Amino acid sequence: MPNSNIPVITIDGPTASGKGTVAHRVAERLGFHLLDSGALYRLTALQALRRQTPLNDEHALAKLAEHLHIGFTGEAIFLSSENVTDAIRAEEVGNTASKIAALPAVRQALFGLQLGFRKAPGLVADGRDMGTVIFPNAQLKVFLTASVEARAERRYKQLIGKGISANMDDLLMDLKARDDRDTHRAIAPLVPAEGAHVLDTSDMTVELAVEQVMNWYAAFGK
């Protein structure tokens, strides 16, 4: 099957909008592969922090991104042979990922890697530029959004549930700063793709969001 004929669903949106969880469940329901593009930037950020790579050294950061040894097994994420699923969700890693994602060389280094996830029978890709840059010809494009307050509350519960201390005011400030960086960066800013279905999940359960995406996808076959 030619690569271009393999169906793709893109799910973009800001931090803590629920896109990762929705993407995972939709992929599971359809039996599709999953691309968590944000994890690629977080893995690059984690490696940069561990190696104390200056965040203004774009060339060095791009080299790190090019030579990542990444593995996805279910919901587990591996860097080389180390399970870093929880490590990449730390707030410092997330903030660093948001900063390096604005660097053109880093984005270019990860571009081909992301395209390679498009395999039969299909792909669900979540991130910030999946529908605008990486898979602009996707069969279904979804943009999940939610109020910054709702997203901060979700992130707070997520961190506390993992035994990580968190402060609501700090989370709100971090999310607003990330939103500003992501929507105003010169390269691939966070915006709904052309033709994307926008879904506000502020007052919506994950189950309802998944069903809505499934219904939109089912409509393509009619």
CATH number of the domain that 72 lies in? 3.40.50.300
In a domain, residue 222? The reply is no
In a domain, residue 47? The reply is yes
Residue 18 token pair? 């629920």
Annotated binding-site residue? 205 = no
Annotated binding-site residue? 119 = no
Annotated binding-site residue? 18 = yes
In a domain, residue 189? The reply is yes
Annotated binding-site residue? 141 = no
Residue 153 token pair? 């509350």
In a domain, residue 2? The reply is no
Beta bridge partners of 62: none
pLDDT at res. 165: 86
**CA nearest to 141, candidates 188, 199, 57, 90:** 199
Work out the number of other CB atoms within 10 angstroms of the CB of residue 31: 8
Annotated binding-site residue? 21 = yes
In a domain, residue 221? The reply is no
In a domain, residue 56? The reply is yes
Annotated binding-site residue? 53 = no
Residue 122 token pair? 């299909």
d(CA 154, CA 132): 26
Instruction: Provide the 3-class DSSP secondary structure of residue 220.
Output: coil
In a domain, residue 78? The reply is yes
pLDDT at res. 1: 44
Annotated binding-site residue? 15 = yes
Residue 91 token pair? 């707030």
Query: Dihedrals φ, ψ of 11, to 5°?
Result: -130, 100
The type of residue at 14 is: P
Annotated binding-site residue? 161 = no
Burial status of residue 1 (CB atoms within 10 A of its CB: 0-12, 13-18, 19 or more): exposed
In a domain, residue 75? The reply is yes
Helices (H) and strands (E) in the chain — how many of each? 8, 8
Domain span at 97: 7-213
HEC assignment per residue over 93-105 = HHHHHHHHCCCHH
Domain count, the chain: 1
Annotated binding-site residue? 17 = yes
Tell me which long-range contacts 23-27 makes (C-beta under 8 A, separation of at least 24).
23/124, 23/125, 23/126, 24/75, 24/124, 25/206, 25/210, 26/124, 26/210, 26/213, 26/214, 26/217, 27/123, 27/124
pLDDT tens profile 83-115: 999 999 888 998 899 899 889 999 999 998 999
| pLDDT tens digits in sequence order for the chain, 222 residues long | 457 789 999 999 998 899 999 999 999 999 999 999 999 999 999 999 999 999 999 999 999 999 998 888 777 899 999 999 999 988 899 889 989 988 999 999 999 899 999 999 999 999 999 999 999 999 999 999 999 999 999 989 988 888 888 899 999 999 999 899 889 988 888 999 999 999 999 999 999 999 999 999 999 765
